[in-house]
């Protein structure tokens, strides 16, 4: 299936406080995304730190997001696991909680074969009726969805797309060739947003849009309307910020950035640490250079 969503999806952070999830602040962040033009939010993706959240916290966060957004934009739940049964169970739960779709990262650590990847996504898709997006990020998982496997995934009825974050544009182009018109391809790496759209990507699943959703949406809109010069100008202006957002492992920098622009995002949970001072100054300067107010 195609066109589950087109445009911008923000891989949104989860704000923590001493009690757990800061739902009041999370609501403000969700509103910031809807007001900024995001078409969807990915809740409990990598950027949301689900690996260090309890099952109860994850359910609370997703339930709150669905109810707070109330249909204004799509809510996509991160449900992947290195255990197929857990990924299936979480996908089923996400559907029951009202998520519009799920984003399932490839099985990590186990380093399964391409056949294993295919069977994993088949199991998830067969368990739910909502759209499923596969998430390819080999640098984190040790597993890479090859183009020929992507082509097979495209034959699954409710498979909606692939979030491509391999960093390999040659592979992304071949994947796009094989799945074009069957399922969608989404940019999962902010550095490559523009080239991914240029080869036919349906949208962006962005980390940097936690800070500047309107600018990320502008890149998408400019490309779709054929204004490539404008799209390049916006992308060029954002590259220093994008670079600063990945000086340390995601979501350490972007969570710091959210605090800098006025949200009470809290700190990442251990084993992630607070952004180091030198990187903090680089990030702060990049934000200020875009004319964004800081606190």
Catalytic residues: 135, 163
Phi, psi (degrees; rounded to nearest 5) at 204 = -120, 135
State how far the alpha carbon of 218 is from the alpha carbons of 36, 84, 131, 178, in Å.
10, 37, 25, 28
CA atoms within 13 A on the CB side of 155: 7
Phi-psi region of 3 (alpha: psi -120 to 50; beta: other; left: phi over 0): left
DSSP alpha helices (H): ranges in the chain?
23-35, 55-69, 84-96, 114-127, 138-141, 147-153, 169-179, 193-198, 213-224, 228-244, 252-260, 277-289
């Amino acid at each position: 299936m195609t066109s589950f969503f087109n445009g911008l999806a923000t891989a949104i952070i989860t704000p923590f406080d001493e009690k757990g999830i800061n739902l009041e602040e999370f609501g403000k962040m969700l509103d910031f995304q809807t007001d900024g033009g995001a078409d969807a939010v990915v809740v409990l993706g990598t950027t949301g730190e689900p690996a260090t959240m309890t099952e109860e916290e994850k359910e609370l966060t997703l339930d709150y997001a669905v109810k707070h957004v109330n249909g204004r934009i799509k809510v996509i739940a991160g449900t992947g696991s290195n255990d197929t049964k857990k990924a299936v169970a979480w996908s089923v739960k996400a559907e029951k909680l009202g998520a519009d779709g799920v984003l399932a990262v490839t099985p990590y650590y186990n380093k399964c074969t391409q056949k294993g990847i295919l069977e994993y996504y088949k199991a998830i898709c067969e368990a739910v009726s909502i759209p499923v997006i596969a998430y390819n990020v080999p640098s984190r998982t040790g597993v890479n969805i090859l183009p020929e496997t992507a082509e097979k995934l495209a034959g699954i009825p409710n498979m909606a797309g692939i979030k491509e974050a391999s960093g390999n544009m040659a592979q992304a182009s071949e994947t796009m060739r094989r799945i074009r018109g069957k399922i969608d391809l989404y940019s999962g790496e902010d550095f490559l947003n523009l080239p991914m759209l240029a080869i036919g990507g349906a949208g962006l699943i962005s980390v940097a849009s936690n800070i500047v959703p309107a600018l990320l949406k502008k890149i998408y809109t400019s490309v779709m309307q054929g204004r490539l010069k404008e799209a390049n100008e916006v992308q060029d202006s954002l590259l220093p910020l994008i670079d600063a957002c990945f000086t340390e492992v995601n979501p350490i920098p972007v969570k710091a950035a959210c605090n800098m622009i006025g949200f009470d995002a809290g700190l990442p949970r251990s084993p992630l640490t607070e952004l180091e001072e030198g990187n903090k100054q680089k990030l702060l300067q990049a934000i200020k250079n875009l004319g964004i107010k800081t606190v």
